[in-house]
Amino acid sequence: MADQIKIMILSGVREQGKDMFAVQVNDEIFVLDAGLKYPDSSLFGIDVVIPDLDFFAQYGDRVVGIFLTHGHADSIGALPYILRKYDIPVFGSKLTIELAKITVKRENKHCKNSLFHVIDADTEIDFKNANISFFHTTHSIPESLGIDVHTPAGEVVYTGDFKFDPSAAPHYRTDMDRLAEIEEKGVLALLSDSSNAESSFPNASEQDIGEYVTSVFRNATGRIIVASKASNLNRVQEVLNAADATGKRVLLTGRDVGKIVRTAMKLGYLKVPKGLLMRVKDLKNTPDNKTVILETGQMGEPLNSLQKMAKKRHSMITIHKGDLVFIVTTPSHAVETMVAQTSDMVYRAGGTVIQLGKDKHTSGHATGRDLQLLIDTIKPKFLIPVIGEYRLLEVHKDLAIKAGIKKDNIFITKNGDCLDYDFKKKRFYLSDPVPGEDTMIDGSGVGDVGNIVLRDREVLSDDGIFIAVVTIDRKKKKIISEPQVTSRGFVYIKANHQLMRDSIEVIKKAINNNFEHKKFDWTELKKDVRNDLEKFLYKKTNRRPVVLPVVMEVNQNRHRAMQKTQ
């Protein structure tokens, strides 16, 4: 049988987060990352969004493993929902696997530990059709790895989230020698991070950022309340270092502290000097100018906690005059408004705010020059920009053309695209798509909220709901009791008595018209009530609430039985 190579874009392009890609070599599929993304304001009530699980229903018997680049949610967040149904081996560095286990067991306590396999940058795994190896990359979490899939046509390289920083600490440093070794083998295709492609300014080195954080700590005269993502361990370490250097003590708070930060401490990826950490009861006896409160969590969780502190609703901490709130994680576009609102609340409570991202150009992702440096280092024949919104993929493409890659050898893809390799023509071409839709998680429901439900939620959020309840006797063709009407999110009922009374008359008229001119049908009756109410309410208010008619029928048999008993 002739060799077959496919690159599948399962998720993670034309969007931010939810990274998941796959390489198929003959009858084996290697899945690269399995992440989630947090919803924007248009996804009403949705907790998180993950890739299309139908892929595993169709191709799960060919998937030999899921290979993780690092321990952030955009890389590991979908694992709980995949492993709930499919026993697929998972490979990652020691810290990544520990964080993956925490993530999975939060949703599925019975997941088998035997599915998780610890690898490192020196690991090579031989499968029937391909060889998988890894290389160190620089990101905001230790032991981040890129993945190299050795195929009969050359190397397929996936970077995951990465950047270049020669001053990075050992656990964060990119292995340039290993990249040169991969280049010598001949790189067929590169799937490369595009998140920060627009940036023309170099990222500040982590050494510079560490010195900046220490300077902020040294100049603070009161308490310092630091907001950070728990998984940004590089930044957490810099905060701990700054506190130690300035003689302050640190209180760890936040939902994920005990899981992510303490796991990293246990594994030795966070260095915490003895006596640096304190407990809540120590706050009273520690001077304000010696106190650092490190509030961590996912996405917007630290900001939510800051808002509670500013409003005096937090269980432990209240922001008061003299406090400095230090936001050390560069916010994504999705939470920039929330950062502004939080800052306003802090100032109202008497505190002040410093944002690291405003004073220093910092990101865990490669700048445009970094992307060109990677291309120049490993010299791929084909480039597939991934991990980023559409404009970022296009910017990445332009950068790659300037770096020497042919325009026709760059593929701007969408979720679900499948690139097949033609060994004779030595080119990739688009073939039949694979599942690439969003799977939305709402509470315990996985994928049970679709576009129709979201559209209903959007309508409800716009103009509310109007409920009409009426009881009829269809045999006598009459209304038994006065219709009852109520609304939520439509109008203030106490100020609109006349509107409510008039709507009752509309309901009566619609039902009586139905009795007189139509053969009785429940669906038709409800439709008439709904249509007439919608027209009436729009005419009076210029609003279109969701109209929900509830029509009940008198139980005739029950009445007869009561009469006989009497």
Binding-site residues for substrate, in ranges, read 361-365
Contact predicate 158/21, CB 8 Å: yes
Judging by beta carbons within 10 Å of its beta carbon (0-12, 13-18, 19+), is residue 112 exposed, middle or buried?
A: exposed
**First vs last Cα of the chain: how many Å apart?**
86
Query: CA 431 to CA 391: how far, in whole Å?
Result: 24
Alpha-helical runs (H) found in 390-467: 390-402, 451-463
Q: What letter represents residue 530's amino acid?
A: R
Provide the β-strand partners of residue 66.
31, 90
Phi, psi of 274 (to 5 degrees): -60, 135
Query: CA 232 to CA 242: how far, in whole Å?
Result: 16
Helix 522-541 and helix 497-517, axial crossing angle in degrees, nearest 10: 150
Ramachandran class of 149: left when φ > 0, alpha when ψ lies in -120 to 50, beta otherwise: beta
Phi, psi of 268 (to 5 degrees): 90, 10
In 10 A of CB 457, how many CB atoms? Answer: 17
- Per DSSP, the chain holds a count of helices (H) and strands (E) of 17, 27
The residues, ordered by sequence, that sit 6+ positions from 186 with a Cβ below 8 Å of its Cβ are 154, 155, 381
Binding-site residue numbers are: 361-365
Query: CA 407 to CA 399: how far, in whole Å?
Result: 11
Q: Is the dihedral of CA 558, 564, 565, 566 positive or negative?
A: positive
Contact predicate 180/174, CB 8 Å: no
Phi, psi of 239 (to 5 degrees): -65, -45
Contact predicate 83/103, CB 8 Å: no
DSSP reduced 3-state for 48: strand
